[in-house]
Amino acid sequence: MGKRVSMVSVEKLYRKIQIFLEMIQFKLTVFALPFAFTGAFLGARSVPDAITALWVVLAMVGARTCAMGFNRIVDWKFDKDNPRTATRAIPAGDIKLGEAWGMVVGAGLLFFFACYQLNQLALMLSPFALGLTLVYSVTKRFTSLCHLVLGAALAFSPLGGWVAVTGSFAGYPVPLSLGVIFWVAGFDTIYACLDADFDKRAGLYSLPSKLGKKRAFRLAGGFHLLAFLFFTYTGVQAGLNIYYYLGIVLTAGALFYQHMLVRPEDLSRIHASFFSMNGLISITLFFATWLSLATL
């Protein structure tokens, strides 16, 4: 009887963890983590030591978990009224607000502790980095430029990786962060088309709800063009070789295909665009950077 009760308890715990991971879309850490390592590898001009790499991973997991959990908390009333998001964990009642807040606080402490373990500058930078990711969650209440705010938040990823290794801003290739800003703003603008009608009715701000889906798509294309140019210039500034630029070619193809895959009048394949293509872009640029550094 005791073993049976234990098995039921373990199953409930496993299910709860699954719900938490799904709530924060943990798998999408793949968007930001490769850029953090791109910054770290560029800072080290090689592979960072294992301890530094571990703290970078924990810092990124902590920051993203904290930000996503906070987003789900502050948006749960809107999520409840939006048919697309009504089944999310908090509005569906699978996760209580107190449980979500506990996760947010715990993840935030993990982030700060990881930054403390890295170096003084990383710790000094941490409140600004985490604060911006949290502020993003409320920007849809007052500005259509929320997509650029999200981009700026994720742009701390490569900068954080660089600082984790070097303990300094000196020599950081700023175009890398600028590329991240416009890459994120582009795909987030496209993804926001799913909620354009709801946002307008709810009094929320986004580029698709303000400009309409067609014009928002065109603007997203402009954002992605800027991202491509900044990513390309990153290679010039960092002195990378042909292997990096082969990655840039693949990145350009993924950006282009993303815009071919989804249209304003047909959003049915947006998840393939959002998850597959953007995950491919971040991973490709990381490996292209690594290979380039290894062959210089």
What's the CA gap between 124 and 153, in Å, rounded? Answer: 16
pLDDT tens-digit profile, the chain (296 residues): 455 545 556 677 677 677 766 766 666 666 789 999 999 999 999 999 999 999 999 999 999 999 999 999 999 999 999 999 898 889 888 889 999 999 999 999 999 999 999 999 999 999 999 999 999 999 999 999 999 999 999 999 999 999 999 999 999 999 999 999 999 999 999 999 999 999 999 999 999 999 999 999 999 999 999 999 999 999 999 999 999 999 999 999 999 998 888 888 888 888 776 677 888 899 999 999 999 999 99
What's the CA gap between 217 and 233, in Å, rounded? Answer: 24
Decide if 120 is inside a domain: yes
- Its domain, for residue 40, covers 27-294
Decide if 95 is inside a domain: yes
Domain of 39: which CATH number? 1.10.357.140
Number of domains in the chain: 1
8 Å CB contact between 164 and 42:
no
Decide if 157 is inside a domain: yes
Decide if 161 is inside a domain: yes
8 Å CB contact between 101 and 117:
no
Decide if 18 is inside a domain: no
Decide if 12 is inside a domain: no
Specify the pTM. 0.93
Neighbours of 274 (CB within 10 A): 20
Bridge partners, residue 263, by sequence: 266
Decide if 8 is inside a domain: no
8 Å CB contact between 138 and 74:
yes
